[in-house]
Amino acid sequence: MHIIGIILYFLSPFLVSSYQSTLQDQWSHPNLTTLSLLSLTEEHYTLLEHPHFKSHSVRIRKASSGFCDPTVTKYTGYIDTSAARHIFFYFFESRRSPETDDVILWTNGGPGSSSAMGLFMELGPCRIEDESESNPYSWNEKANIFFIDQPAGVGFSYTEYGESMSTTEEAAQDIVAFLTIFFETFSEFKGRAFHLSGESYAGRYLPLFGAAILDHNPRLVAAGLEPINLRSIMIGNGWTDVYRMIPSLYDVVCTPASVDPFFDISTCVRMKTILPRCMEWLRESCVDTFDKISCAAAYQFCARELMGPFYAKERNPYDMSKPCTREEYNTTLCYPQSQRIRNYLDLPATRKLLGVSPVLDNIAFQSCNMDLNKAFIDNMDKLREHTAYYLENLLDRGIRVLIYVGTYDWIANWVGNELMVDSLEWHGMDDFKKQTLKTWSISNGQGTLSPDSPAGRVKSSGLLTFLTIEGAGHMVPLDKPIESLEMVDRWLKGDSF
């Protein structure tokens, strides 16, 4: 969510005080190399350190049973770096079998969006309408799951001394350190199957996070440590390949690819006329070579011509089937839940339950940090690298990749994502390209599938799966929770669709 921040920036021509810990005397400094999660308490943070990552440490505590679903055991904490970055996370145990179930890390996109949105609106154990009420379709029905406010500066994460982040490569190193310290400390998770997941700008984050994990694993092995057992990457409505996403913005508003065409014909004709020039400029300046000034100008031109007309329609950019006024977008991003989440997370009682740093006491919660968003944009993070190449390399190293897309999303739509997966060059690409989209269905409640009520379409070969969820927007677990959970269950088990 919040990829629109990038677009709005191109369409128009925290302050955090120094952190002097008031919790230092409440920290526990264990001498043991490994611990059990059962040893953690609500009263204080336990400080985790590891000699392999001298510039990183982790503070973690058991969260109060009064937070979120009371039947679920959960933890919160911070990843701290010597570079004055502090990254907040939530960890929820699986409802099914926390001792054996896989581990998932979830991140929202932006860049700059808090994963509290994913937690309280989409796939977490509770919804913000009543944060103590269980969400029966939470992904922790099937797995242990992290929600992480990354990069530093997002949500309840913060930085000090003017530190800032502007690249996904920087963010990836913090993720690798955190995961290694966590899995090494809590021995019950060593070697556990691990999956990276997220949506929107996570289409940029996750391929680089996965690559950083695999590239670091040999160093762990050389040090006599357990490598991180990365099994798969799950990207929902991702913004991974700009060059292939741009032309799809025409397809989903001027053809019946998703919903009935709703642009007037003259606008569609102009868009299609402009498109070849847009694509040529992007290829010359952003793909074949990278010229920061020319690439930015090319993207600004494409955004103005191909994205600009959408906003005049006052439709939800995350769900084209629904209206959304300019005021609604500016205040709630078309989702009233986002305001309720912000209000809830601004309550002192909530922050106390979560163990949020007192540094943030007088700072309002932001669902998306637009200063960080702008820093990533100014650094051309999304346009600088060929992100899809990372997916290709992960596939060639045996990592399964699931690209799932709600069919009503505009900004990171299924047409552009299918073009992206079809363009991937990897050892299984010939077989994948032979596949055609077929219907997939979910259980009707009696253990059988219901072909009369298709959940979407899918094509899959070997390690790569592309899947749509019919009638869902940008945030699939919010719009189609039953289908979302069924998808995750099958994916984790390795079942076919």
Q: CA 241 to CA 109: how far, in whole Å? A: 15
Q: DSSP for 101-140? A: S-EEEEE--TTTB-THHIIIIIISSEETTEEEEE-TT-GG
Task: Count the Cβ atoms, other than its own, within 10 Å of residue 324.
Answer: 20
Residue with tokens 């694993």: 217
Catalytic site includes residue 114: no
| Nearest to 78, CA basis, from 172, 167, 178, 171 | 178
Contacts of 379 (CB under 8 A, 6+ apart): 166, 167
Three-state DSSP class for 333? Answer: coil
Q: Which of 101, 241, 409, 479 is catalytic?
A: 409
What angle, rounded to 10 degrees, do the helices at 265-282 and 292-302 form? 170
Q: Which of 102, 381, 474, 479 is catalytic?
A: 474
Catalytic site includes residue 200: yes
Q: Tell whether the torsion through CA atoms of 488, 492, 493 and 494 is positive or negative.
A: positive
Q: Which of 114, 157, 166, 200 is catalytic?
A: 200
Q: CA 194 to CA 102: how far, in whole Å? A: 6
Rg (CA), the chain: 22
The H-or-E segment that residue 468 falls in is: strand 464-469
CB 176 within 8 A of CB 81: no
What angle, rounded to 10 degrees, do the helices at 4-11 and 292-302 form? 100
Catalytic site includes residue 430: no
Q: How far is CA 188 from CA 36, 72, 108, 192, 387, in A?
A: 7, 18, 27, 8, 33
- What per-residue string of b and e applies to 352-366 under the rule 16 or more CB within 10 Å gives b? ebbbbbebbeeeebb
Strands annotated E in 173-318: 194-199, 230-236, 315-316
Q: CA 347 to CA 458: how far, in whole Å? A: 43
User: Counting runs of H as helices and runs of E as strands, what totals does the chain give?
Assistant: 18, 17
Contacts of 187 (CB under 8 A, 6+ apart): 34, 35, 36
Calculate the CA 76 to chain-centre distance: 18
C-alpha neighbours within 13 Å on the C-beta side of residue 94: 16
Q: CA 239 to CA 5: how far, in whole Å? A: 13
Active site residues: 200, 409, 474
